[in-house]
Chains A and B, each alone.
Chain A
Amino acid sequence: MKRHLLSAADLTLEDATLVLDTATELAQLTERATVKKLPTLRGRTVVNLFFEDSTRTRTSFELAAKRLSADVINFSAKGSSVSKGETLKDTALTLEAMGSDAVVVRHSWSGAPVNLSRFIRGSVINAGDGTHEHPTQALLDAYTMRQRLGRIEGLKVTIVGDILHSRVARSNVLLLHTLGADVTLVAPPTLLPVGVDQWPCQTSYDLDAVLPKSDVVMMLRVQRERMGAAYFPSTREYARRYGLDVRRVQTLSDDAIVMHPGPMVRGMEIAPEVADGVRSTIVEQVANGVSVRMAVLYLLLGGAEPAIGSDDQ
């Protein structure tokens, strides 16, 4: 039985396509309706379990669940018993005892959603774990590409930035590979993980060489702290070599789009003019996030059996 969404690798081509198609339908339904709420998950409880601050993702999941009429509980690690030393297991058992049907979890340790899924009966949705994965972000990115460009198969997608520490990059590489896109990762060698040569994608150190061939350019945030750890010498040099500025954008083909999962550092990895330009999908990505998360919740919780996701752990 499929029950959880822990990794983008859990999704087959059929699963992923079903999520995107369902998201499209749900978006159309809520757009047409005067009352945006659907009764689908009435009586079900979704817990947002956030061990790490993320207003953006938490709000998106909350809105998605509420539009499906689910009851939503926001359980933030800060100010809760978690900060007093309660273990993940105890937190999970507490939520279980309260009768949650799905737990949306954000955690600073890679793999925590997998651990959580062993402790509870309900569905676990990974909303970002450490430097591992963020599958719903990849789904909303794929949704946005399909919306803008009409397809995903055969698209040349370039992901630029701190691949080493990026859960968005990992989930995107896996999902886009499943969906038939052609992914190239671009970063300084220090920000590409050892072992990336065995990922289902290409890599390059040269952004300028890759841009003219790209249909999609996805810029990732680069944290300034990485500079202290000697991943690169200065933010200025990083921006010069890997930042998407106005000059570089002009080398893109006419239809190419520019994406960013946010939060972005304007002037570092992306110039403000580019972030606000016509190619930019950054605001759409946020709106699409709600539709895609509605689809995931609906497909995991809506029927008697979950329609997508990973096997029972």
Chain B
Amino acid sequence: MTHLLQNVRPYGGEGATDVRIADGRIAEIGPGLSLGQSTPYDGRGGVLLPGLVDLHTHLREPGREDAETVETGTLAAALGGFTAVHAMANTDPVADTAGVVEQVWRLGRDAGHCDVAPVGAVTIGLKGEQMAELGTMADSAARVRVFSDDGHCVSDASLMRRALEYVKAFDGVIAQHAQEPRLTVGAQMNEGVNSSLLGLTGWPAVAEEAIIARDCLLAAHVSGRLHICHVSTAGSVELVRWAKGKGVDVTAEVTPHHLVLTDDLASTYDPVFKVNPPLRTKTDVEALREGLADGTIDCVATDHAPHALEDKEAEWGAAAFGMTGLETALGVVVRAMGDRLSWRQVAERMSETPARIGRLEDHGRPIAVGEPANLCLVDPGARWTVDPSQSASRSRNTPFAGHELPVRVVATFLRGRPTVLDGRPA
């Protein structure tokens, strides 16, 4: 089966061209290619990007299949233009053994909507006490390279140091959820004037920044590879910039929601806006945008965190942290960044760099003959309004309900096979 993408603009460049896909790879690129036996798809001048890669997705399976499954989560991912997602380890049971990561990886392969790269837990049961069998997970069929206790910070400095050292043996990276636990006991939202008036326990910026500073120093000391999950404060951006200037092997991600939403939204007490790290201030949002534009922040990651209705339809303090984000990610990033990111840079921040950090060889590749055909096609003029009830995710906790987004993914190809066509599951 071959496909001919007609009239598409790789990286949003000037000239429209055609792209032939055969045997899972890009076979030919050029204007006016003959149709031959290929199935045509009219790209209408849309922007062709390498398939998006998410470094931070919660698929909830095994354990909370009522909130999301690998099947529904990866379908939502494909609709958002993703061809690979990293599935976070905080499932039940926790993804801290080769058995669990292989199970998740296989579920992804069977569903077939996008590749699932399981993230392994750094410590057994995410408890922050004893290192999990990281090497065995790396050597498993799931080929784990990203390790994280996401949701929990590896707060023990000695354990963090050992983890950063240990994963060097198999080119792994520790993805840190930076949250000093003693500074965030009972924390509900960003600490500032809003938390003070709303009577919600504050989650101070320093609790994130202190861990980032410490971990950058640790990574430098042991020459380890560190990735900072969902950076949310202006101070964090400054610290990452400083560490990179010192040559530390550190990368950082930002979520789409932290690029647009602020803690003013907590005044509704609507838990759909409750997330960890919390929504911050306008100043932070601006610093994050600037960091993403200048490359201090390497990539966008969704932190797609689906939750069952009953876990969100509660008092703010009792509700779960997290927001869905796979289907809205690209639109929100384009809306937030406007002219500050070219399509070429969007490809870098949302595909090439996350693929490189996760060591996914077949993703984030150039749009060139011979490369794996993991692609997504974007209509850069298709405005649409987010309707949670239309989401492919099993959960409805998007903070963007009713928001208008400026661009839409119309097609996604995974190794040459369409997973999404005309904005719908293929």
Q: Which candidate, B191-199, B320-328, B368-376, is the interface stretch facing chain A?
A: B191-199
- Decide: B204 and A109 in contact? CB cutoff 8 A: no
Closest to A170 in B: B199
CB 8 Å contact bits of B282-311 with A (1 = contact, 0 = none):
000000000000000000000000000010
Take A88-B315, A109-B316 as given contacts and tell me if A193 and B202 are in contact as well, using a CB distance cutoff of 8 Å.
yes
B196 contacts which chain A residues (CB < 8 A)? 193-196, 198-199
A89 near B313 with CB under 8 A, answer: yes
Given contacts A87-B310, A194-B191, A194-B204, contact A115 B197 (CB under 8 A): no
Residue-by-residue, is B157-200 near A (CB-CB < 8 Å gives 1, otherwise 0)? 00000000000000000000000000000000001111111111
A129-137, A208-216, A302-310 - interface stretch: A129-137
In the complex, are the beta carbons of A111 and B316 less than 8 A apart?
yes
Q: Mark A125-164, 1 if CB is under 8 A from B, else 0.
A: 0000111110000000000000000000000000000000
User: A167 interface residue, CB < 8 Å from B?
Assistant: yes
**A110 sits at the interface (CB 8 A):** yes
Interface residue? B35 (CB, 8 A): no
Whether A260 is near chain B, meaning CB under 8 Å from some CB there, is: no
- Check B316 against A110 for contact (C-beta < 8 Å): yes
A112 contact from B192, B268, B313, B315, Cβ within 8 A: B315
A-chain residues with CB within 8 Å of residue B426 when the two chains form the complex: none
How many Å from the CB of B310 to the closest CB on chain A? 7
Known: A87-B314, A88-B315, A107-B315. A114 touches B195 (CB 8 A): no
Find out whether the CB atom of A110 lies under 8 angstroms from the CB atom of B192.
Answer: no
| Residues A114 and B194 in contact in the complex (CB < 8 Å), given A87-B310, A109-B315, A130-B317 | no
Query: Contacts A194-B191, A198-B193 known; A132 to B314 CB distance under 8 Å?
Result: no
Query: Is A194 a contact partner of B202 (Cβ separation < 8 A)?
Result: yes
B: contact size bracket = 20 to 34
Residues of chain A within 8 A of B193, CB atoms compared: 195, 198-199
User: Chain B residues near A107 (CB, 8 Å)?
Assistant: 315
User: Would you give the 0/1 interface string for A87-109, flagging 1 where the beta carbon is closer than 8 Å to chain B?
Assistant: 11100000000000000000101
**What residues of chain B lie closer than 8 Å to A112, measured between beta carbons?**
269, 315
Query: Which residues of B191-227 are within 8 A (CB) of A?
Result: 191-202, 204
- The answer for the CA separation of A81 and B79 in the assembled complex, in Å, is 42
CA distance A132 to B317 in the complex (A): 12
Q: Is the CB of A195 within 8 A of B317?
A: no
A110 pairs with B198, CB closer than 8 A: yes
**Cβ distance A194 to chain B, nearest Cβ, rounded Å:** 5
B33 adjacent to chain A (CB < 8 Å): no
Q: Write the nearest CB–CB distance from A224 to chain B, whole angstroms.
A: 18
The closest CB in chain B to the CB of A198 belongs to B193
B318 within 8 Å of A by Cβ?
yes
A interface with B by C-beta (< 8 Å)? 87-89, 107, 109-112, 114-115, 129-133, 167, 170, 193-196, 198-199
Given contacts A109-B316, A111-B199, 7 further A-B contacts (CB under 8 A): A107-B315, A111-B315, A115-B315, A132-B198, A194-B191, A194-B196, A195-B192
Q: List 12 A-B contacts (CB under 8 A).
A: A89-B313, A110-B198, A110-B269, A111-B198, A111-B316, A112-B269, A115-B269, A129-B199, A131-B201, A170-B199, A193-B202, A195-B194
Binding site for A on B (CB under 8 A): 191-202, 204, 268-269, 310, 313-318
Instruction: Across the A-B interface, give the 8 residue pairs with the lowest CB-CB distance, nearest first.
Output: A132-B199, A111-B269, A195-B193, A195-B196, A193-B196, A131-B199, A109-B315, A110-B199
